[in-house]
């Protein structure tokens, strides 16, 4: 193995594990992933070669279309010396042409890890249970753990810490909000979620987050949620599969737009986050997302660094 900044990294207890929700990990393990992401990002910028995954292959299964997920995983795997293979819905239909468990067992005979971007969390869990290689959730209806790792990395970089930092999420209580709740609970960040009536996060996931650390504060008042926040986060109002609800959601979510007025309730050094793609003029104004507080493109870049750290630790 090539040296890692002059040192050969020690074995990790994460080797061979799955990443489906982030709740599989301890607080210390999440911090280990973030620490490795920081090191790998620095190595990449210094052009120091580090290819610990030479000869290893990642299967990328896409039941939902992708931009950032595919590019960040494929490039990240390449930079670590491995190879990524993309499988489209036409090539691999989980639960249709073949059962999730059969898909997992077959892929595990060929490759070293599986990343799945899909709809059904139960099918994902079934596939992971059958595969004897690490399975990573690239996005599902309930969870987006890799995005949450990138979020944590960005907040840590920009604000210098996670523990005690108030993070405000404004909008739909979706998979991004769910994973952010788990991530904040594991790292000591204080999360407030503002959502319209009937669009809050899944109570079971809030209960899960509470068991891991601090309980997220839920409110229907975006100003209350943002007051004193050092990071303000939002997402699209209608996710994939919710296109038929888009017009109704625009009406219900309009008071939850992140604009300069709402950002005024946050601290003076607060940053703005968005997992992208963004709809300017809907969930966020152009003035905010393109303004000096925005860190959305650093956040997008950090998807790759966080995922590289995850791949490295799971496959070492």
- Which one has a higher pLDDT value, 97 or 158? 158
pLDDT at 175: 97
Catalytic annotation on 44? no
Catalytic annotation on 269? no
Catalytic annotation on 70? no
> Hey, do 27-143+303-315 and 147-299 end up sharing a CATH topology, with the first three levels equal?
yes
pLDDT at 90: 81
Task: Tell me the domain boundaries of the chain.
Answer: 27-143+303-315, 147-299
- As a whole number, mean pLDDT of residues 149-155 equals 98
pLDDT at 103: 94
pLDDT at 8: 47
Catalytic annotation on 275? yes
Strand 231-234 to strand 217-219: parallel, antiparallel, or no bridges (unpaired)? unpaired
Over 60: is that where the pLDDT of 238 sits? yes
pLDDT at 185: 98
Q: Count Cα atoms within 13 angstroms, Cβ side, for 311.
A: 34
3-state secondary structure the chain: CCCECCECCCCCCCCCCCECCCCCCCHHHHHHHHHHHHHHHHHHHHCCCCCCCCCCEEEEEECCCCCHHHHHHHHHHHHCCCEEEEECCCCCCECCCECHHHHHHHHHHHCCEEEEECCCHHHHHHHHHHCCCCEEEEECCCCCHHHHHHHHHHHHHHHCCCCCCEEEEECCCCHHHHHHHHHHHHHCCEEEEECCCCCCCCHHHHHHHHHHCCCCEEECCHHHHHCCCCEEEECCCCCCCCHHHHHHHHHHHHHHCECHHHHCCCCCCCEEEECCCCCECCCECHHHHCCCCECHHHHHHHHHHHHHHHHHHHHC
User: What CATH architecture applies to the domain 27-143+303-315?
Assistant: 3-Layer(aba) Sandwich (3.40)
Average pLDDT, the chain: 94
The active-site residue out of 68, 144, 274, 293 is 144
Over 50: is that where the pLDDT of 1 sits? no
Tens of pLDDT, residue by residue over 82-120, are 999 999 888 876 767 789 999 999 999 999 999 999 999
The active-site residue out of 63, 146, 235, 274 is 235
- As a whole number, mean pLDDT of residues 60-72 equals 93
Over 90: is that where the pLDDT of 7 sits? no
The active-site residue out of 19, 68, 79, 117 is 117
Catalytic annotation on 290? no
Catalytic annotation on 235? yes
* Residue 13: band (very low, low, confident or very high) from pLDDT cuts 50, 70, 90: confident
The active-site residue out of 275, 293, 305, 307 is 275
pLDDT at 11: 55
- As a whole number, mean pLDDT of residues 199-225 equals 97
- As a whole number, mean pLDDT of residues 199-218 equals 96
What is the CATH code for 147-299?
Answer: 3.40.50.1370
Strand 135-139 to strand 113-117: parallel, antiparallel, or no bridges (unpaired)? parallel
The active-site residue out of 63, 79, 147, 299 is 147
- As a whole number, mean pLDDT of residues 285-305 equals 98
Cβ of 43: how many Cβ atoms within 10 Å? Answer: 17
Tens of pLDDT, residue by residue over 248-280, are 999 999 999 999 999 999 999 999 999 999 999
Q: Tokens at residue 127, please?
A: 């596939």
Q: Tokens at residue 298, please?
A: 């650093």
Residue 277: is the preceding peptide bond cis (ω within 30°)?
Answer: yes
- As a whole number, mean pLDDT of residues 25-31 equals 97
How far is the CA of 16 from the CAs of 83, 137, 229, in angstroms?
A: 18, 14, 37
Over 50: is that where the pLDDT of 6 sits? no
The active-site residue out of 143, 178, 303, 305 is 303
Cβ-contact 74, 307 below 8 angstroms: no
- As a whole number, mean pLDDT of residues 183-189 equals 98
Q: Which residue is it, tokens 């979706």?
A: 174
Query: Which residues pair with residue 169 across a beta bridge?
Result: 193, 233
Cβ-contact 209, 186 below 8 angstroms: no
């Amino acid at each position: 193995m090539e040296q890692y900044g002059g040192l050969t990294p020690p074995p990790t207890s994460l080797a061979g594990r799955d990443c489906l929700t982030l709740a599989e990990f301890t607080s210390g393990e999440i911090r280990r992933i973030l620490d490795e992401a920081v090191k790998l990002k620095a190595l990449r910028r210094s052009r120091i070669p580090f290819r610990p995954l030479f000869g290893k292959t990642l299967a990328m299964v896409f039941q939902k279309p992708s931009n950032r997920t595919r590019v960040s995983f494929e490039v990240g795997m390449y930079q670590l010396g491995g190879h990524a293979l993309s499988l489209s819905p036409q090539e691999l239909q989980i639960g249709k042409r073949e059962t999730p468990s059969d898909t997992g067992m077959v892929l595990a005979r060929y490759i070293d890890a599986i990343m799945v971007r899909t709809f059904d969390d139960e099918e994902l869990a079934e596939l992971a249970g059958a595969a004897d290689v690490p399975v990573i959730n690239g996005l599902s209806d309930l969870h987006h753990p890799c995005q949450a790792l990138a979020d944590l990395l960005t907040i840590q970089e920009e604000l210098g810490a996670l523990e005690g930092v108030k993070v405000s999420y404004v909008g739909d209580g979706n998979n991004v909000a769910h994973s952010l709740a788990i991530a904040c609970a594991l790292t000591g960040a204080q999360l407030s979620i503002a959502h319209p009536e009937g669009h809050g996060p899944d109570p079971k996931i809030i209960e899960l987050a509470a068991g891991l650390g601090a309980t997220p504060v839920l409110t229907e008042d975006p100003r209350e949620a943002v007051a004193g926040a050092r990071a303000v986060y939002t997402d699209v109002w209608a996710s994939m599969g919710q296109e038929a609800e888009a017009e109704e959601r625009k009406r219900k979510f309009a008071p939850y737009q992140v604009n300069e007025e709402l950002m005024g309730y946050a601290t003076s050094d607060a940053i703005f986050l968005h997992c992208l793609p963004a709809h300017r003029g809907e969930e966020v104004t152009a003035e905010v997302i393109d303004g000096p507080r925005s860190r959305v493109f650093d956040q997008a870049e950090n998807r790759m660094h966080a995922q590289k750290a995850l791949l490295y630790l799971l496959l070492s």
